[in-house]
Amino acid sequence: MGKDRTAVLVDFGGVITSSVLRAFTDFGASLGGDPRLPLDLLARDQPSRTLLADHECGRIDAEAFERGFAERLRAHGVDVAAEGLTARMQAGLSVDQDMLALLGELRAVGYPVALVSNSFGSGTYDGVDLAAVTDAVVISADIGIRKPSRRIFAIACERLGTAPEEAVMIDDLRQNLDGAARIGIGGVLHTSAADTRRRLAEEFGISGHGRVPRL
């Protein structure tokens, strides 16, 4: 069993929302080519990877990312308009009300919650009142550091006033949990609100009903 934790860090895309990977794949399918192309470029094409890193760290804005990524898609045989590209890539996302309910329950019984998110596009967070569902908000473009850098997780802990070894991170990407683990933060690989709720209770003693007794 893991150590009991007293604070929660949470990702946005793919945790508070439905799957980003699925949304990007759906977008790829809409282009008429390989549905995996957008994700493959962001994962393995160095110019695309640089564009994403620069955008997530706030070095370039959404429009610059869109122009650059549209060029990379065109270089791989897909003619796509740059304007509004990030919004179209995220069109399939929906807010997971079960996750919002879980975060609300945790905060109600005394677990502070911090959002730790790599920014993407300009309207990503418009559907959620972040100030109403979290106690602190750490967005990569605002601080110039992105996940999986350990520093972004340390900043989130500092803003909550908690030590890293007293926090747990919920994320849908293993690489981000690995980054958090380097400073002692526990991790839950998110697949659904129900599974995350169970794992928080079983592995870290965290429940929306209060602390789970540990044997």
Residue partners of 1: CB distance under 8 A and separation at least 6: 202, 203, 214
What's the pLDDT score for residue 3? 63
146-to-68, 124, 176, 209 alpha-carbon distances in Å: 20, 16, 10, 32
Residue partners of 126: CB distance under 8 A and separation at least 6: none
What's the pLDDT score for residue 1? 45
Per-residue pLDDT tens, the chain, 215 aa: give them.
456 799 999 999 999 999 999 999 999 999 998 999 999 999 999 999 999 999 999 999 999 999 999 999 999 999 999 999 999 999 999 999 999 999 999 999 999 999 999 999 999 999 899 999 999 999 999 999 999 999 999 999 999 999 999 999 999 999 999 999 999 999 999 999 999 999 999 999 999 887 765 54
What's the pLDDT score for residue 213? 56
pTM above 0.85, yes or no: yes
